[in-house]
Amino acid sequence: MTKGPVIVDQQAGDLAKIDGEISDAKARIKRLGAEYADAEEKLDDARWNATRKAMGTARSSLDALETKRAEILAGIYVEKVEPKQQVSAAPVQRRAWEIDEKVLKARVPEYPDIKRGSDADKDEAFFKEYDHSVNYWVAKIQDEFRQDGFHPDVKVGLDFMATMIGVQKANFLWLSGRCMSLETCLAEIENRPTLKYAGVWSASTTYVPGEIVSHGGSSWHSNIKSQGLQPGESNPASWTLMTKRGRDGKDARP
C-alpha cells in the first residue's frame, strides 16, 4: 500500500517552538529578578549592576520573541538572513541612575508639626523640610523606574512633559488658594471679640471690643476701642449695660 504524503503544519510547528523560547525567556527574567533583589538587599553594587544589565538584555529578547510570535500567527513572518561577515555593533552604553540611597532609605518626610510664627519656627524649618520632601520623592520615583528596568536615557515626549508640568502647576495653585481661604477664615475667627473682665473703669485705660468693666455698681460691655469715654447713657455706642446696679438695702431674696 502506497503511503500518502505527510502534511506538516509549518505554522503550528513554528508556534510551538517560539512558545518554548518565550517560556524559557520568562523563566530567565524571573531568576534574574530574584538575583537583582538579593544583590540590592546585600548592597552588592557589582552584582547588582551586572544583574540589571542582564535583565535589560533578557527583556529585549523577550520583546523580540513575542513580536516574532505575533508575526508567525498572522502569517507575515519572514526569517531574516543575517549577512555574512557582518560586524557586530558596539553595545549601547546606558547611564546608571544617580540616586541618593540615604535619602531613599530615610523615612517619608512629613509636614512639620510646628506652628507658623512660634518660637519653634526658626532656621527656615519649613523650607528645609520641603527640600527633604522633594529630594525623597524624586529618589523614590527614580528607584521605581530602576526596578522596572528603565534607564535614565529613555526619551520622553514633550506632550507628556507638558501634561506633567500642567498637573503640577494646577495642584500648586489650587492648594495655595485653598490654604489662603483657610487662613482667611482662621484669621476672622481669631479676631472676633471675646469677653474679658478688665476691672473697674478708668479714664486713662484704653478698652477694646469684648472687654467688661465695672462702673457705678453696674457692669458694662465695650463695643468699640475707646479711652476716656465713660460708660453710661451719654455714650450708648461705646458701652452696653450688662448688669444693672441693685437698689441699696434690697437683698436678692426669693
Helix or strand or coil: residue 219? strand
pLDDT digits (tens, 9 = 90+) for 191-214: 877 788 999 999 999 999 889 999
Superfamily of domain 196-243: Carbohydrate-binding module superfamily 5/12 (2.10.10.20)
Average pLDDT of the chain? 85
Is residue 207 within 8 Å of 213, Cβ to Cβ?
yes
Helix or strand or coil: residue 220? strand
**Average of pLDDT values for 215-241?**
89
User: What is the C-alpha to C-alpha distance for residues 247 and 198, in angstroms, rounded to an integer?
Assistant: 24
Is residue 29 within 8 Å of 52, Cβ to Cβ?
no
Concatenating the DSSP letter of every residue in 179-207 gives HHHHHHHHHHHHTS---EEEEE--TTSEE
Choose which CATH entry (2.60.40, 1.20.120, 1.20.58, 3.40.630) describes domain 10-74.
1.20.58
pLDDT digits (tens, 9 = 90+) for 82-100: 667 766 777 878 889 999 9
Instruction: State which H helix or E strand residue 214 sits in.
Output: strand 211-215
**152-184 burial string, b = 16+ CB within 10 Å, else e?**
eeeeeeeeeeeeeeeeeeeeeeeeeeeeeeeee
Start-to-end C-alpha separation, the chain? 134
Residue 251: per-residue pLDDT: 55
Instruction: Examine the pLDDT at 55 and tell me if it is beyond 80.
Output: yes
pLDDT digits (tens, 9 = 90+) for 14-38: 888 888 989 998 999 999 888 888 8
User: How sure is the predictor about 173, in pLDDT bands with cuts at 50, 70 and 90?
Assistant: very high
Find all residues with CB under 8 Å of 238, minimum gap 6, and list them: 222, 223, 224, 226, 229, 231
**% of residues, the chain, pLDDT over 70:** 91
CA 50 to chain centre: 32
Query: So where are the chain's domains?
Result: 10-74, 95-154, 156-192, 196-243
How large is the angle between the packed helices 10-41 and 45-74, nearest 10 degrees? Answer: 160
User: What is the C-alpha to C-alpha distance for residues 141 and 99, in angstroms, rounded to an integer?
Assistant: 10
pTM for the model stands at 0.41
